[in-house]
Structure 1
Amino acid sequence: MTELTKRALLTGLTAASLLTTAPAWAQGRNTIQQFVTPPKFSAQDQGRIDRAVAYLQSLGTGGGRFEQTDYKGRTTAGKWWLQRPGKIRFEYDAPYSLLVVSDGKTVNTWDPRLKAFNQYPLNATPLSLFLSKQIRLDQGVIVTEVTPTTDGFRLKARDRRRDVEGSILMTFIERGNALQLGEWTVTDQQGKGTRVRLVTFDRNTAVRPDLFVLKKPKGAN
């Protein structure tokens, strides 16, 4: 359970680099940085990137069900809620009953079985890729691959710093003339991937403000 919590949960949901292996998305270093040069995309692929950014930027409130599969093939599921910018909640089904909650500044996690409570700055997690007020895929985080699929396309992104490994593969699905984020797979610095599939996603639904508040419970480690 400890491995599931620390790797599958934090890798998958707090997701696009790793909280467990030095989160790269917003971590600074006192060394001279070398940067990956983004590929030159065709007009068609650049159009896909622009559509994905516009779609993510347009997200407001919503929620649904998710299913997560870790690198060993273990599957968990639960509910999730969104309120952009900044706020998201993942609530795992029993018996795990794990919680991951971003309040706009901090990502809080609670494992009731281990009585473990942890906090991480939102901008030090890959959740900021979806939750930031202004979404960019051409600066700190860059797209390295665009792959068409039968019902949409995939974008692979990574931290632009060369010494920061790991990536996220986002799958977008065409629904008529509309776009929808279907799933993402996070691959860590050891090449181990965790997949999060949005089983349902109901956009623009009302969400309660208290869903995005998670304080340290009494007796938590």
Structure 2
Amino acid sequence: MTSTMTRRALALGLAALPVPALAQGAPALSAADKALVDKAVAYLQSLGEAKGRFVQTDPRGAVTQGALYLKRPGKARFAYDPPAGLLVVSDGALVSIHNTKLKTFESYPLGATPLNLFLAKQIRLDRGVVVTRVTRHSDGFSITARDGKRQADGQITLTFSNSPMRLLGWTVTDPQGGATRVRLSNLQPTSGLANSLFVLKDPRPRGVGRGKM
């Protein structure tokens, strides 16, 4: 996995998780569609702490998986199973990616990533991304959205189940049509997650390619 693909995994996979919001200029939603959006946001807002598993499929069909931990506001951990060698952690200020295979470490301000919208203390309906479609399924629904200011950056589709209400995963489609799919399993509310889960320091010696993107 190259450094470019590492950044791609962050941008198109786990960290690309915006919360759907009704932005200015969005297509008009029916009352029923808006109710589903509100239901999804209320559910996400209720996830103070949660844990589960994820399976990620990139546009080339490569599959990776791992464990997911959330502690709002601001904190998340995506620990990929071996042999992926990837760990993505948000500590509330920075989203950091450690690739043990390539011995690389990259950090991004949380506020500059879509992950910030999901981990925010208060999920807002008046800013963020534009909801373009709400799709109903036999056992749930999906919400497709894009960034309201950067329309060329692709789109994300969040999928939820109805009974019980649960985030099942998301699909991010890039401007070229490539899709990265993340499927969650057994995502459950929890409590008492250790703060150490959300700390990731650059393990490399000082002066060895250190620096932020």
Q: So what's the TM-score if we normalise by structure 2?
A: 0.88
The corresponding residue for 2:73 is: 85
Structure 1 position 165, deviation (Å): 2.6
Specify whether residues 169 and 187 from structure 1 end up closer, same or farther in structure 2 by C-alpha distance, changes over 3 A only.
Answer: same
Partner residue, 1:195: 181
Instruction: Say if 2:35 is the partner of 1:47.
Output: yes
User: Which has the larger displacement, 153-162 or 64-73?
Assistant: 153-162
Structure 1: runs of 5 or more not aligned = 18-34
Report the Cα offset of residue 192 of structure 1.
Answer: 1.4
Q: Corresponding residue for 2:62?
A: 74
**Residue 13 of structure 1: aligned partner:** 14
3-state SS in 2 of match to 1:38 = coil
Aligned-partner Cα distance in 1 for 2:150–2:112: 17
Count of aligned pairs: 202
CA distance in 1, matches of 2:67, 2:151: 35
Residues 166 and 186 in structure 1, CA contact (< 8 A), matched pair in contact too = yes
Displaced runs of 4 or more, over 4 A: none
Residues 117 and 128 of structure 2 are in contact (CA less than 8 Å); yes or no, is this contact kept in structure 1?
no
- Equivalent AA in structure 2 for residue 212 of structure 1: F
Normalised to the residue count of structure 1, the TM-score between the two structures is: 0.85
* Letter of the structure 1 residue corresponding to residue 160 of structure 2: F
Offset, 1:11: 1.7
105-114 or 198-207, which deviates more: 198-207
Deviations along 1:100-152, one digit per CA (max 9) or x if unpaired, are: 00001110110011111000011211212211112124423121110111111
1:211 to 180, 197, 208: 197
Quote the Cα distance in structure 2 between the aligned partners of 1:93 and 1:206.
23
Determine the structure 2 residue equivalent to 1:122: 110
- Which deviations, in whole Å up to 9, do the C-alpha atoms of 1:61-106 show, x marking residues without a partner? 1111110000111100011111011100000111122100000111
Q: CA RMSD in A?
A: 1.8
Q: Which runs of 5+ in 2 are unaligned?
A: none
Identity of aligned residues (%): 52
In 2, the alpha carbon distance for the partners of 1:11 and 1:70 equals: 9
Query: Given that residues 15 and 127 in structure 1 are in contact (C-alpha distance below 8 angstroms), is that contact kept between their aligned partners in structure 2?
Result: yes
Maintained 8 Å contact 1:103/1:213: yes
